[in-house]
Amino acid sequence: MATPPLTPRMLTPTTLSPLGSPRSKKSTAAVRPEITLEQPSGKNKTTGSKSTKLFRRVRSVFRSLPIMSPMCKFPVGGTRLHENHVHGGTRVTGTLFGYRKTRVNLAVQENPRSLPILLLELAIPTGKLLQDLGVGLVRIALECEKKPSEKTKIIDEPIWALYCNGKKSGYGVKRQPTEEDLVVMQMLHAVSMGAGVLPVSSSTTEQSGGGGGQQEGDLTYMRAHFERVIGSRDSETYYMMNPDGNSGPELSIFFVRV
């Protein structure tokens, strides 16, 4: 009796990783852009372990504080910036980003293709600040205590008291960029100025600004040129400049030791 021919087995094509193991669709979808941001000029590439631990401790305490929604009052008849350059200032790139219901982040870069030289987490919801910027002039003051024989640069202070248009609005904390922060900066490396929404994966459990994915809303951003003016060792100001010089959102950020 003849043996019946074997029925061909239908094989499902499988994508192999470089190591030869099957690559799942989930891992393929989670591929992130390669970080190609450059080191800023004059930036020390090595970060001390003590300062890193200090930033992490301060950040953990800061996250335990409640988010405050300041009712920013806009000055009546205040002087607005009409020039595209501040005398004695240095042009840098500033980016406000975060989920609408979580704390806003401010990243300052020498240019859109460099690593941040300053990253702050402010106790103001992202959506609230962007909404206020769409209405008029916003002034943010960050104050910290001045100590005798102070040698730390003012932007290297770990924590500040935060004021929005003169009203106490919680605290601002300097922190080290996370992987998510660098992904956001990499996605915006070709953007010099503008605003929009970033398609960040919702499967990530730890998002920029303490968000938790889609349940926190869209990750929004606003990027513009800032003029950095160093007044003294204890004062530094960042003015957001508008391309037309007259309209659009305007923001001034003051760092001061008192």
What single string gives the DSSP state of each residue in 175-198? ----HHHHHHHHHTTT-SSEEEEE
- What gap in Å lies between CA 19 and CA 101, rounded to an integer? 41
C-alpha count within 13 angstroms, C-beta hemisphere, residue 156: 10
Q: What is the pLDDT along the chain (258 residues), one digit of tens a residue?
A: 565 555 444 444 433 333 333 444 444 345 778 999 999 986 544 344 455 555 555 555 544 444 444 444 333 333 344 445 566 789 999 999 999 889 999 999 999 999 999 999 999 999 999 889 888 889 999 999 998 877 889 999 999 999 999 999 999 999 999 999 999 999 999 999 999 998 866 544 344 554 444 445 679 999 999 999 999 999 999 999 877 655 555 899 999 999
- What gap in Å lies between CA 124 and CA 196, rounded to an integer? 19
- What gap in Å lies between CA 68 and CA 208, rounded to an integer? 18
Give the count of beta carbons closer than 10 Å to the beta carbon of residue 168. 13
What single string gives the DSSP state of each residue in 215-243? GG--EEEEEEEEEEEEEETTEEEEEEEPS
What's the pLDDT score for residue 175? 95
What's the pLDDT score for residue 1? 57
Find the radius of gyration of the CA atoms of the chain: 23
Q: What are 127-133's contacts with CB under 8 Å, separation 24+? A: 127/100, 127/101, 127/217, 127/220, 128/69, 128/70, 129/96, 129/104, 130/96, 130/100, 130/104, 130/195, 130/220, 130/222, 132/72, 132/164, 133/222, 133/249, 133/250, 133/251
SS3 157: coil
What's the pLDDT score for residue 183? 93
Structure tokens at 224: 């513009």
What's the pLDDT score for residue 91? 94
- What gap in Å lies between CA 81 and CA 91, rounded to an integer? 15
Beta strands in the chain (DSSP E): 90-99, 103-109, 118-125, 137-144, 159-164, 167-174, 194-198, 219-232, 235-241, 250-257
User: Apex CA 92: angle with CA 180 and CA 251, to 5°?
Assistant: 85
Q: Which residue has the tokens 């200090």?
A: 54
- What gap in Å lies between CA 8 and CA 169, rounded to an integer? 70
